[in-house]
């Protein structure tokens, strides 16, 4: 029998082979006042490739309709044993069903297996269903490759998939059950994976971490004026936010540990998720809510969707598409709630405080005496996604940093950071499709022609392009 993470096994984290603490064509008309044009209006179609640049094989054909009784029995044998132990033979039986839709269940189960024999059996069964040659290697878990194929192929999920996924995931973390409870959820459960940590469900203002291990949000951190921020190196990165004329810098090394801040700035309540995996620090107003709903308290769920952190509101239990700021489950989904975004500027601390001398900065140690490492992640995300993303848009390298903005006409635009720097350093202007990009400290800010801020933020190209598939790309 193969051991499995489950309530009867104490949820042994040593099983995690991939843990990370841990995110059609558009217009092509050139703005007459612009010094630049777009690279292309739509991604070319050279065939599907993954984030490593490897070609994704052709998609296998998938059946339609309900699962037959024998296939249901195969799945139920495995699912009935999740909380104790799984028979390798039962996993192997998946591969004999001929139904590639079951590959989603194999990929989900493989994430949590402890036994190397069962772990390999999932890969063998997957290959039998998908016609692939995924290798059961330990150094680079096949789990990501399996999911990348299924996402790229848009393989249909088997009937009852969300129910199977709920039974599996809530064995690991019961706190996720409310997300699954919304049967009308606007979420594609195929794309949801475990990020290697548990839910942060601590009340607002809690200083202690989570006993089982979560990414603990930083609530209302003490701040100091810029002149008392010399503890943070001038060449170190901050995420700068300005609300109603009040500016604040959030040090990157602190954000890498907490990945979420709830704060008050410019007399507004804001929430600031930082998806380290996507290279995207974003900010949203959390004080404009439907009647009967309290000001939101944003928390990290411990789940990911195509490598983007999945956040939720503590009060309502509603899950968000973090990148888009749209509620996808719970009471906030029911009323069609969307968070209002705020511009976030990625800058060095020295350049930010020179541009905003009245800025504040989160106090040293988060104001709580915590010894934050200078580089908590030690370059973990430098070489590309470490979680499933499927196929990627080949117009730019996957980890190239872009400034993302939505033009006044609704068109998503990606401005590659290196090209922006070169254009502005040479004295040029960047004005394209109604979006003007200017420097702000050591970073960039997007606005309209009449000077109104657009809610821009930086991200890795793979992340921006997968959430805004119709984005156009600016170049000099």
Residues 259-290 have pLDDT tens digits of 999 999 999 999 999 999 999 999 999 999 99
pTM exceeds 0.75 for this model: yes
- Span 321-345, pLDDT tens digits: 999 999 999 999 999 999 999 999 9
Write out the two tokens for 262: 């709830």
Residue 139 confidence (pLDDT): 56
Residue of 443, 450, 213 whose CA lies nearest to 345: 443
Write out the two tokens for 455: 């809610």
Average pLDDT over residues 186-204: 97
Task: Please report, rounded to a whole number, the percentage of residues in the chain having pLDDT higher than 90.
Answer: 81
**432 burial level (CB within 10 Å; 0-12, 13-18, 19+):** buried
Q: Which residues contact 58 (CB under 8 A, 6 or more apart)?
A: none
Asked whether residue 434 carries a pLDDT value surpassing 60, the answer given is: yes
Asked whether residue 241 carries a pLDDT value surpassing 80, the answer given is: yes
Residue 381 confidence (pLDDT): 86
Q: Output the CA torsion sign for 9, 14, 15, 20.
A: positive
Task: Please report, rounded to a whole number, the percentage of residues in the chain having pLDDT higher than 70.
Answer: 89
The torsion defined by the Cα of 70, 72, 77 and 82, in degrees rounded to 10, comes to 160
Q: What is the SS3 assignment for 282?
A: coil
Q: What is the SS3 assignment for 364?
A: helix
pLDDT band for position 6 (cuts 50, 70, 90): very low
Q: Is the backbone of residue 217 left (phi > 0), alpha (psi -120 to 50) or beta?
A: beta
Domain ranges in the chain?
Answer: 2-21+53-172, 401-475
Could you tell me if 26 and 412 are in contact, meaning their C-beta atoms sit under 8 angstroms apart?
yes
């Amino acid at each position: 029998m193969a051991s499995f993470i489950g309530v009867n096994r104490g949820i042994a984290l040593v099983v995690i082979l991939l843990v990370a603490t841990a995110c059609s064509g558009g217009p092509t008309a050139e703005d007459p006042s612009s010094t630049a044009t777009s690279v292309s209006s739509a991604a070319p179609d050279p065939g599907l490739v993954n984030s490593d640049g490897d070609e994704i094989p052709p998609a296998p054909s998938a059946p339609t309709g309900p699962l037959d009784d024998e296939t249901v029995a195969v799945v139920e044998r495995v699912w009935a044993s999740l909380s104790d132990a799984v028979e390798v033979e039962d996993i192997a039986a998946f591969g004999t069903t001929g139904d590639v839709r079951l590959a989603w269940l194999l990929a989900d189960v493989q994430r949590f297996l402890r036994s190397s024999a069962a772990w390999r059996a999932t890969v063998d069964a997957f290959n039998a269903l998908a016609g692939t040659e995924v290798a059961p290697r330990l150094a680079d878990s096949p789990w990501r490759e399996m999911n990348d194929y299924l996402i790229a192929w848009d393989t249909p999920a088997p009937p009852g998939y969300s129910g199977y996924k709920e039974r599996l995931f809530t064995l690991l973390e019961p706190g996720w059950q409310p997300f699954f409870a919304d049967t009308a959820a606007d979420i594609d459960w195929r794309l949801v994976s475990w990020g290697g940590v548990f839910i942060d469900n601590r009340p607002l203002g809690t200083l202690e971490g989570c006993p089982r291990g979560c990414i603990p949000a930083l609530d209302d951190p003490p701040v100091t004026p810029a002149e008392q921020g010399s503890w943070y190196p001038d060449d170190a990165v901050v995420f700068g936010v300005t609300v109603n004329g009040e500016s604040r810098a959030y040090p990157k090394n602190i954000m890498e540990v907490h990945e979420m801040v709830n704060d008050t700035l410019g007399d507004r309540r804001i929430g600031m998720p930082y998806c380290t995996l996507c290279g995207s620090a974003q900010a949203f107003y959390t004080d404009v809510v439907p009647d009967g709903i309290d000001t939101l308290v944003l928390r990290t769920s411990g789940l990911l969707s195509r490598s983007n952190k999945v956040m939720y509101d503590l009060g309502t239990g509603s899950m968000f598409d973090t990148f888009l700021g749209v509620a996808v489950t719970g009471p906030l989904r029911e009323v069609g709630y969307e968070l209002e975004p705020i511009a976030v500027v990625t800058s060095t601390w020295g350049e930010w405080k020179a541009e905003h001398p009245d800025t504040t900065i989160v106090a040293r140690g988060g104001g709580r005496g915590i010894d934050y490492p200078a580089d908590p992640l030690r370059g973990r995300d430098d070489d590309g996604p470490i979680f499933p993303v499927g196929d990627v848009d080949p117009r730019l390298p996957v980890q190239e940093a872009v400034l993302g903005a939505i033009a006044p006409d609704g068109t998503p635009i990606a401005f590659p950071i290196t090209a922006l720097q070169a254009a502005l350093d040479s004295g040029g202007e960047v004005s394209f499709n109604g979006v003007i990009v200017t420097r702000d400290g050591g970073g960039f800010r997007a606005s309209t022609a009449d000077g109104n801020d657009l809610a821009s933020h930086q991200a890795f190209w793979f992340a921006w392009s997968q959430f805004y598939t119709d984005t156009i790309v600016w170049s000099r």
